[in-house]
Amino acid sequence: MPQPIVGLHHVTAIASDPQRVLDFYAQVLGLRFVKRTVNFDDPGSYHFYLGDDSGSPGTILTFFAWPGATRGSLGIGETSALAFAVPSSSLGFWEQRLLSAGIPVERADDRFGDPVLSFGDPDGMRVEMVGTADTVDVHIPRTSDLPQERAIRGFYSVTLCEAGFELTAKVLETMGLRKTRQENNRIRFAAESNEPGRYIDVLVQTQLTYGRMGAGTIHHIAFRAPDDAVQLEWRETLAEISLNVTPVLDRSYFHSIYFREPGGVLFEIATDPPGFGIDESTESLGESLKLPPWLEKHRARIEKALPPIEMPHLKAGSGHD
């Protein structure tokens, strides 16, 4: 068996307004805009990456920004929520910060003993903050006004909405995660690591129909491989349990393989290297449009087709409590 998966690498969602989604995640949630590029499979639209100061694996939230995209609907076969980890002592701070930014937020029921805040992003995507004593050190974004003890510490978990869980469990267990807990219809799988994003919850919701991809939905979730060799071993192992896995694709900042797990959610395994420093310095991450070598010759046309955006600016007056 290849080296077990340690957790999530990134989560990719769909947004309908490039500037609005950047402003929300950078200004309100304090993530750093670490890469401005295009969707390599559809270079007419933006692909944004946000994360900790350098965009470390386990902190990276990415968006396909499709202006005017219609909203998707939540249902079976989708990742129905993304949860960030924050120190438990900062949950009240976050509740206030979200409310003062005009975002309705609710204190959900405790989940496996941890308090949870739940709110929608500008496209209605379900975002959660889990207060935990068990946070991981990440590089706090230099662009954020948040004090160290409040800032987001990367991902906590994702929730997969499914009609059942046994076949999905088999895949997660093959990947090295273990079923650790169950609370009603929520079943938790955990990677054996101390890395951010090590929990995958499967929420069994038999009453729902299949979801529809669109703005406000999560397109796929990516798990980590430490290098290309381990990724290839995973490709073989997953093919052996009858999953159709794509060939390795070059995403510039990591290399990727994709497959659909039996419950319908699109999974990816992405390599940790080379990371976002490959084509710009850490100081200037996100400031200019970066294209992979094979699209560079079309730069003029691509830039003309993309809507202009500004770097998200800090929200004056927030962040002090």
Candidates 86, 138, 215, 222: give the one binding Zn ion (CB under 5 A): 222
Cβ of residue 70: shortest distance to Zn ion, in angstroms?
A: 22
Q: Which is nearer to Zn ion, 136 or 222 (CB)?
A: 222
27 binds Zn ion (CB under 5 A): no
Closest CA to 137 of 147, 152, 121: 152
Closest CA to 265 of 165, 154, 119: 165
Cβ of residue 63: shortest distance to Zn ion, in angstroms?
A: 11
Which positions from 249 to 288 touch Zn ion by CB under 5 A, shown as an x/- string? -------------------x--------------------
Residue 125's contacts (CB-CB under 8 Å, 6 or more residues apart) are: 13, 82, 216, 217, 218
> Among 138-146, 161-169, 218-226, 285-293, which window interacts with Zn ion (CB under 5 A)?
218-226
For 124, the token pair is 């209605």
Q: Which is nearer to Zn ion, 128 or 268 (CB)?
A: 268
> Among 11-19, 103-111, 132-140, 295-303, which window interacts with Zn ion (CB under 5 A)?
11-19
C-alpha R_g of the chain: 19
User: For the chain, what's the residue count?
Assistant: 321
12 binds Zn ion (CB under 5 A): yes
Q: Which is nearer to Zn ion, 266 or 309 (CB)?
A: 266
Q: How many CB atoms lie within 10 A of CB 24?
A: 21
Task: Give, for 22, the enclosing helix (H) or strand (E).
Answer: helix 18-23
Question: Do the beta carbons of residue 134 and residue 190 sit within 8 Å?
Answer: no
Cβ of residue 266: shortest distance to Zn ion, in angstroms?
A: 9
Cβ of residue 166: shortest distance to Zn ion, in angstroms?
A: 26
Q: How far is it, in rounded angstroms, from Cα 222 to Cα 155?
A: 12
- Positions in the binding site for Zn ion (CB under 5 A): 12, 222, 268
